[in-house]
């Protein structure tokens, strides 16, 4: 078990193997954070849409969530990367294949973002639906319009309730970013695999990757616990449903 392999210069140039690991970490973080931004915004909008009574908002959101939740992430990645450029109009398809910078990266970000948005939508929906109906009715009785009820009454409570499940979704995005290796993004797991193939030090390479993932999880969990403590509403223990 020889961890000094990471200080050896890489076979194909470009610094030591440790630099490969750091590059992998960088790509994992970029993919995950950008995907989370998409997931959080799109998912919140969808979650709110699913709680309304208007069919014109309710139905597309439900269709979206069902479609994106029932197709495996790997299949979705392939469809974004391989199928999408073929089925859009020719000009856009050509740009996607040739002109776009870093196509693997952006496809991974978009795919992961929209996939996780469907999960975030479910969490936000269950958070809003766990608030007693009396709150909505009191808001309406006081003369607030429905959008105002959402903005001032439901969403502030809803988000505080779902912080624990949303934390778990945020961690899941970091883990799901590893699926991007199938379309060529050289994130952490891909780099670990490459290092193991160049140096045959499989144990060390995978150990480093595992340690990094565990550290990311620990850091996020600790940070989220601190955030939860700050925004906790007295009297509401724990999260809302699944």
Q: Kindly tell me which of 155 and 208 has the beta carbon lying closer to another protein.
A: 208
Query: How far apart are CB 219 and another protein at their closest, in Å?
Result: 11
Quick one: residue 71, left, alpha or beta (phi over 0 = left, psi -120 to 50 = alpha)?
Answer: beta
Asked if 66 interacts with another protein (CB under 8 A), we say yes
Asked if 58 interacts with another protein (CB under 8 A), we say no
Spatial distance between the Cα atoms of 57 and 53, rounded to a whole number of angstroms? 8
Question: What are the DSSP calls for 108-137, one per residue?
Answer: HHHHHHHHHHHHHHHHHHHHHHTS-HHHHH
Query: How far apart are CB 214 and another protein at their closest, in Å?
Result: 5
Asked if 223 interacts with another protein (CB under 8 A), we say no
Query: How far apart are CB 205 and another protein at their closest, in Å?
Result: 9
Asked if 210 interacts with another protein (CB under 8 A), we say yes
* Total residues at interface with another protein (CB under 8 A): 40
Residue of 69, 97, 152, 232 that binds another protein (CB under 8 A): 69
Stretch that binds another protein, among 67-75, 126-134, 158-166, 229-237 (CB under 8 A): 67-75
Query: 10-14: long-range contacts (C-beta < 8 A, 24 or more apart)?
Result: 10/198, 11/198, 12/198
Of residues 39, 21, 48, the one with CA closest to residue 154: 48
Cα torsion 190, 195, 201, 207 to 10°: value is -40
Each residue 162-191 as x (binds another protein by CB under 8 A) or -, in order, gives ---------x--xxxxxx-xx------x--
- Determine contact, residues 59/49, Cβ cutoff 8 Å: no
Asked if 63 interacts with another protein (CB under 8 A), we say no
Spatial distance between the Cα atoms of 122 and 125, rounded to a whole number of angstroms? 5
Asked if 192 interacts with another protein (CB under 8 A), we say yes
Asked if 72 interacts with another protein (CB under 8 A), we say yes
Stretch that binds another protein, among 51-59, 63-71, 102-110, 129-137 (CB under 8 A): 63-71
What's the burial of 48, exposed, middle or buried (CB within 10 Å: 0-12/13-18/19+)?
buried
Residue of 37, 59, 63, 71 that binds another protein (CB under 8 A): 71
Query: 48-55: long-range contacts (C-beta < 8 A, 24 or more apart)?
Result: 48/124, 48/125, 48/128, 48/150, 48/155, 50/121, 50/125, 51/125, 51/128, 51/129, 52/146
Asked if 45 interacts with another protein (CB under 8 A), we say no
Asked if 70 interacts with another protein (CB under 8 A), we say yes
List residues binding another protein (CB under 8 A): 66-67, 69-76, 78-79, 82-83, 86-87, 171, 174-179, 181-182, 189, 192-193, 196, 202-203, 206, 209-210, 213-214, 216-218, 242
């Amino acid at each position: 078990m020889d961890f000094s392999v990471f200080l050896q210069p890489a076979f194909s140039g470009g610094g030591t193997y440790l630099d490969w690991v750091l590059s992998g970490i960088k790509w994992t973080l970029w993919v995950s954070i950008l995907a989370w931004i998409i997931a959080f915004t799109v998912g919140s909008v969808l979650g709110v849409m699913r709680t309304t009574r208007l069919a014109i908002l309710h139905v597309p959101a439900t269709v979206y969530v069902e479609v994106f939740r029932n197709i495996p992430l790997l299949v979705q990645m392939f469809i974004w990367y391989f199928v999408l450029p073929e089925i859009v109009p020719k000009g856009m398809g050509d740009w996607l294949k040739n002109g776009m910078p870093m196509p693997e990266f952006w496809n991974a970000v978009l795919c992961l973002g929209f996939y996780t948005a469907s999960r975030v939508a479910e969490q936000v929906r269950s958070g809003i639906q766990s608030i007693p109906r009396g709150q909505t009715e009191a808001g309406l009785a006081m003369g607030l319009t429905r959008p105002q009820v959402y903005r001032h009454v439901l969403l502030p409570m809803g988000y505080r309730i779902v912080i624990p499940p949303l934390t778990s979704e945020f961690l899941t995005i970091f883990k799901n970013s590893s699926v991007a290796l199938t379309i060529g993004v050289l994130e952490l797991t891909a780099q670990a695999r490459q290092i193991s193939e160049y140096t045959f030090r499989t144990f060390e390479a995978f150990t480093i990757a595992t340690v990094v993932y565990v550290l990311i999880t620990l850091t996020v969990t600790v940070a989220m616990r601190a955030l939860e403590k700050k925004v906790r509403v007295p009297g509401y223990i724990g999260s809302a449903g699944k």
